[in-house]
């Protein structure tokens, strides 16, 4: 068909009494509709809510891990304090130690999240008849939002690590009891 005639041919076909107008599909019309809103508002909101919930769970999980690591290392940190290491030096080293672990986990999560998004979202985009759209949906990941979310996930546990390292402890009592305090 010559370019620019698709709309007139579709109109003629839709006017025929033996043709259901919903059955006449024009590639340009479908593409324009999908470009305007490829996912409905509900699935898009559900995807954002799932991403936020996953980020919150990850941040809480990392923070719990940081607290556990700090409790396990408190005798070691008390010994270093007794030997003259400043709280801020220990906090920097703890933040670096935990930051590497959190950084690897966040980068892995970003990669897996992008892969799952590219695999799942095209399966969620359907046309009016419930079939895969023509042309196929193109997945555009919001990179800025993903990086902001990843930064938020990483910052919370790092703040917890620094706060736990800098807080005042009873160094002598902790060393005398071998790490057990009341």
Q: Is the pLDDT of residue 102 over 60?
A: yes
Q: Which of 62, 85, 58 is nearest to 149 (CA)?
A: 58
Q: Is the pLDDT of residue 179 over 60?
A: no
pLDDT band for 104, please (50, 70, 90 cuts).
very high
Q: How high is the pLDDT of residue 108?
A: 93
Residue found by looking up tokens 């559900």 in the block: 46
Tell me the domain boundaries of the chain.
1-36, 39-176
Token pair, residue 99, equals 């930051």
Range 128-161 burial, b when 16+ CB lie within 10 A, else e: eeeeebeeebeeeeeeeebeebbeebbebbbebb
Distance CA 69, CA 71 (A): 5
pLDDT digits (tens, 9 = 90+) for 18-52: 878 777 777 777 777 766 665 666 777 887 888 88
pLDDT digits (tens, 9 = 90+) for 64-90: 888 888 778 877 877 888 888 888 888
Distance CA 6, CA 2 (A): 8
């Amino acid at each position: 068909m010559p370019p620019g005639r698709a709309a007139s041919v579709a109109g003629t076909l839709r006017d025929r009494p033996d043709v259901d107008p919903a059955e006449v599909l024009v590639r340009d019309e479908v593409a324009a509709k999908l470009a305007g809103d490829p996912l409905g508002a509900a699935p898009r909101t559900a995807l954002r809510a799932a991403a936020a919930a996953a980020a919150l769970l990850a941040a809480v999980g990392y923070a719990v891990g940081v607290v556990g690591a700090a409790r396990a290392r408190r005798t070691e940190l008390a010994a270093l304090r007794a030997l003259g290491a400043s709280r801020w030096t220990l906090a920097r080293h703890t933040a670096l130690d935990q930051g590497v672990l959190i950084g690897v986990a966040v980068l892995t999560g970003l990669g897996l999240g992008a892969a799952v998004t590219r695999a799942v979202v095209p399966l969620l985009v359907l046309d009016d008849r419930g079939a895969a759209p023509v042309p196929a949906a193109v997945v555009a990941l919001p990179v800025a939002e993903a990086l902001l979310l990843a930064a938020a996930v990483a910052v919370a546990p790092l703040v917890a690590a620094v706060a736990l390292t800098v807080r005042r402890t009873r160094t002598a009592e902790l060393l005398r009891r071998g790490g057990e305090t009341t």
